[in-house]
Amino acid sequence: MTVALRIYLTGVGGQGTLTATTLLARAAVACGLEVVSGEIHGMAQRGGIVESTVLLGGFRSPTLRPGEADLLLGFEALESMRAVPYLTPGGAAVCATDFIPPPGVSMGRERLPDIEEVRETVGRVAGRSLFLSIDALGRRAGAVRSGNSALLGAACAAGFLPFGPEVLGEVIRGHLPPGDAEINLRALELGRDAAGPCRDRPGGNAGTTH
């Protein structure tokens, strides 16, 4: 399999963004792909910004400069919008519609955009995009934090990753404790089903789930 794919992941502490990074990297290795992965900005505390990369296809460094990411995976709506400069024009994006307001918003120093502003910002750069509430899907699966697996399942089902949800499912079974694995497998399936009607649809908005 010949693949060259640069993935930029962003979210906030407590969402499992780094776990999702690990799952993606392990799934790629299971498919025989060359992988480099790195943490750009790690969480100093719960709620802090978390940014990471997964590069597939023989890249030597995990570093991504603005405009180089082929795929943006945003686990929180505001951080998804902030990460858009890293996405290459015409790239793909899978973004959460859920907000976790940063301290500046809570203290009245910053304005929180609405989700339509996030969609428009992403849509100006992305060739295809998909938005879904990973919090809602995580709750349905059994734990809000499993929403990270729901987002990965949606990315697979939309055709944005070089492997399907079944590969990620095997990685989840092998990497997570049994109880967590079952919840995340349910979330993976819910994300896959949520993205199903949007597969292979071109344009600025592949679809939306709530």
We report the CATH number of the domain holding residue 187 as 3.40.920.10
Q: Is the separation of the CB atoms in 7 and 68 below 8 Å?
A: no
Q: What's the confidence (pLDDT) of residue 104?
A: 72
Question: Percentage of the chain surpassing pLDDT 90?
Answer: 79
- Residue 192 forms part of a structural domain: yes
List the structure tokens of 204: 């600025």
The H-or-E segment that residue 174 falls in is: helix 165-175
CB burial of 172-184 (b: ≥16 within 10 Å; e: otherwise) equals: beeebeeebbbbb
Residue 200 has pLDDT above 60, yes or no: no
Q: What's the confidence (pLDDT) of residue 207?
A: 42
pTM for the complete prediction? 0.91
Residue 8 has pLDDT above 70, yes or no: yes
- Residue 59 forms part of a structural domain: yes
Q: For residue 47, report the phi and psi dihedrals to the nearest 5 degrees.
A: 95, -10
- Residue 66 forms part of a structural domain: yes
Q: What's the confidence (pLDDT) of residue 199?
A: 45
Query: Residue 48's pLDDT band (boundaries 50, 70, 90)?
Result: confident
Strand partners, 6: 55
- Residue 208 forms part of a structural domain: no
Q: What's the confidence (pLDDT) of residue 14?
A: 85
Query: Residue 47's pLDDT band (boundaries 50, 70, 90)?
Result: low
CB-count burial class (<10 Å; 0-12, 13-18, 19+) for 122: buried
For the chain, what is the domain count?
1
Domain that holds residue 83: 5-197
Residue 55 has pLDDT above 60, yes or no: yes
Sheet strands (E) in the chain = 5-12, 35-41, 49-56, 69-74, 87-96, 128-132, 207-208
Q: What average pLDDT does range 179-200 have in this prediction?
A: 86
